[in-house]
A and B are shown apart, each in its own frame.
Chain A
Amino acid sequence: MTAGARDVPASGPTPGPGPTPVPGLTPAQTIGPFFAHALPWQDGPFVVPKGVAGAFWIRGRVLDGDGEPVPDAIVETWQADPDGRFDHPDDPRGIASDRSDWFRGFGRCPTDPDGRYRIHTVKPGSVPGANGGDQAPHVDLSIFARGLLDRVVTRLYFPDETAANAADPVLAALAEPVRPTLVAGIAGDGYTFDIRLQGEHETAFFAV
C-alpha cells in the first residue's frame, strides 16, 4: 500500500526509500445537496436515548443571509457528559463505565424543508479550558451545507448557566453584541438554538 501513484506536492519530502512521503493536508469541499441517502441515521439525533433522566431536545433552524431556511444542511454536535468528561482515550479521566453504553456524545441531524434540526441530549458538565480554568457547559456544533465550502463551527451555551457563562473564556473573547448568538433559548421540552449563517444576528463562528 506504500507505492502510491498519487502526486506528491513539490513542497513535500523527497520520494524514495524510507517512509512514505507525506502529502499535504486534504482540502475540504462542500457536502453538496445530495448527502441525504448517505449521512442521516435513524438514531442520529440521539446523543442519549429516549428515557434518560434529564434528557431534553435542542431544536432550531438553520437560516441563510436572507433569513430563509436552509433545507439541505446537516448539523452535528459533540459534547461532554454530565460530569464534563469525554468517552475518548485523550480524556485521561474517561467516563463512568455504565455511562458509555448510552452516552454517545455525538449527534447528527439533517435539516427539514423548514430548515429545522433537533438533537436529543443531556446537559454537559463544565470542561477544563484550553488555558486552565473551567468552561461553562457547552456543545460544539458543525454545520455542513451546499454553499458551505467547509463546515462552519459554533458553540451552544445554556441560558440557565448565567454565572458559568459570565466566567467562560470563549464567550469572554467574543465581542459583546455577538455573545447572545451562542446562548440557547428555553423551550417547552428543552432549548432552542437557531443558526444564522449570515446577516443580522449572524451566529458567531469559530476557526478550529
Chain B
Amino acid sequence: MTRLAVRGYRRDVADVHPPLLWPDYRSTGRRAPSRPLVLLPHSLTELTGPLLGADRVGALDHDLTRQHAGEPLGERIIVHGRVLDGDGRPVPQTLIEVWQANAAGRYAHGGDQHPAPLDPNFTGVGRCLTGADGSYRFVTVKPGAYPWRNHDNAWRPAHIHFSLFGRAFVQRLVTQMYFPGDPLFGQDPIFNSVPERARQRMVAGFDLSQTEPEWALAYRFDLVLRGRDATPMDDR
C-alpha cells in the first residue's frame, strides 16, 4: 500500500457555482445530469493536473488586436488582473485561454448566425501564462452584446470567456468576465444562475490606473481558484 502526504484542496463552499439545472437557461434542461453528484475523494489524480507551459502560447497571443494585418474595429481595452487561490496566494505560470465576440457581437465561428459583421482583423482568441505574481494582461477590443434564442428578445451581456487550469484538476475553471453596469444583467439567465452573493465576482472593475492615455481603457478582473488544506491530506 502506498501512502503519500500531499496537501489537499478545500472543496468549494456552497453559493459559489451555478446549479447544473437552471430552467431559465433552457439548454440545461436536457443536458444537466439528473442524479446528485457523487463526492469524489481527492487522490493524486485530482490533486495534480496539467501544467501547460509557454509552448502553448504564441508571441502575440496576449494581444488580440495584433493578430491580423490590420487593427480590429471597436473600443480598444486592456484586461488585466491576477489569478489567486482561495488563500490569496498567486497562481504562477498557469495557462489562461480567452475567447470573445468582436465589437459588433459576432464570433468568428461558423455556428454564430447573428447577422452582425465579422471583422477580418479579429479572431477573438487569446492565451497567456500568468507571471510569478499570478498577474496576466490582455489587449483586446470590448466585445458587443448579442442576441440568442433562449427566450423572447434574449441578449447576452458583453462578456469574455476565460479558461484556467490552476495547478490541479480540482482547480480547473471555465467562466465568463462581464463589464460593470451592463443593463443586460437583469435578463440574462447565465449570469443570474450564479448565487447572488457571488455574481459580482464575475464583473470586472473599470481600472483608471491601468488605462493607457490616448490609447486604451482598462478593466481589472481577478480570478480566484480553490485554496489548499493547511496540512497534508495524510495527516487528517
Bind each other: yes
A-side residues, CB < 8 A to B, are 1, 3-7, 9, 11, 19-39, 41, 64-66, 68, 70, 72, 76, 78-80, 86-88, 90-93, 104-106, 127-135, 138, 140, 142, 144-153, 155, 169-170, 173-174, 178, 197-199, 202-208
Question: How many contacting A-B pairs (Cβ < 8 A)?
Answer: 281
Cross-interface CB contact of A169 among B41, B48, B84, B133, cutoff 8 Å: B41
B209 at the interface (CB under 8 A from A): yes
A33 and B150 CA atoms in complex are apart in Å by: 13
Contact present for A4 and B205 (CB under 8 Å)? yes
A23 to B163, CA, bound (A): 19
The answer to whether A80 and B30 touch (CB under 8 A), given A33-B111, A106-B52, is: no
Given contacts A27-B201, A34-B109, contact A202 B35 (CB under 8 A): yes
Q: In the complex, what distance in Å separates the CA atom of A150 from the CA atom of B195? A: 13
Residues of B within 8 A of A86 (CB): 44-45, 48
Partner of B204, one of A6, A30, A35, A199: A6
Q: Does B190 contact A (CB under 8 A)?
A: yes
Q: Contact at B49–A22, with CB atoms within 8 Å?
A: no
Chain A residues contacting B145 (CB-CB under 8 Å) are: none
Task: Say yes or no: B203 contacts A7, CB within 8 Å.
Answer: yes
Question: Which of B37, B51, B174 makes the CB contact (< 8 A) with A28?
Answer: B174
B150 CB to closest chain A CB (Å) equals 10
A80 to B2, CA, bound (A): 15
Q: Report the Cα distance A76→B28, complex, angstroms.
A: 20
Interface SS majority for chain A: loop
B41 touches A147 (CB 8 A): no
Q: Which residues of A contact B224 (CB under 8 A)?
A: 22-26
Contact of B97 among A34, A39, A174 (CB under 8 A): A39
CB of B32 within 8 Å of the partner chain: yes
Q: How far does the Cβ of B147 sit from chain A's closest Cβ, in whole Å? A: 14
* Contact of A37 with B125 in the complex, beta carbons under 8 Å: yes
User: With A6-B220, A27-B198, A147-B28 in contact, is A197–B33 under 8 Å at CB?
Assistant: yes
Bound form: Cα–Cα A31–B54 in Å:
23
- Given A27-B16, A27-B199, A34-B107 in contact, is the A130-B41 Cβ separation under 8 Å? yes
